[in-house]
Amino acid sequence: MGLTKANVSHWETCKHDPSFLQLLKIRDLTGWPLRDVLNAEQWPFPRVGRERVASLNPDQLASLETGLIMALAAITARQATEPERRKQA
């Protein structure tokens, strides 16, 4: 899987989480079901079909993952500063 002991150690100590692609590889290697992640009823993107994401090649999936991480970071940062903006208003 291209991982180091440090990668796994960080997962175990909650310093980092495995990426979605890594979770899929773990599922494929171990047979561990990812029902919570892959349950159709819980698919979080109603305007983006699961089939469309599944059809992406590994480079496209990595780009998508990077984009999601960046968007989530921006949303989280914006949410963290909202209480301060309200105080200033």
pLDDT level of residue 73 (50, 70, 90 thresholds) = confident
Nearest-angstrom CA–CA distance, 73 and 20: 16
Whether residues 34 and 60 fall in one domain: no
Nearest-angstrom CA–CA distance, 32 and 50: 20
Q: Mean pLDDT, to the nearest integer, of 71-80?
A: 82
pTM as predicted: 0.46
Domain span holding position 75: 50-89
Nearest-angstrom CA–CA distance, 15 and 29: 23
Domain count, the chain: 2
Tokens representing 24?
């899929």
For residues 10 and 44, the model is more confident at 10
pLDDT level of residue 83 (50, 70, 90 thresholds) = low
Whether residues 37 and 61 fall in one domain: no
For residues 8 and 83, the model is more confident at 8
Whether residues 54 and 70 fall in one domain: yes
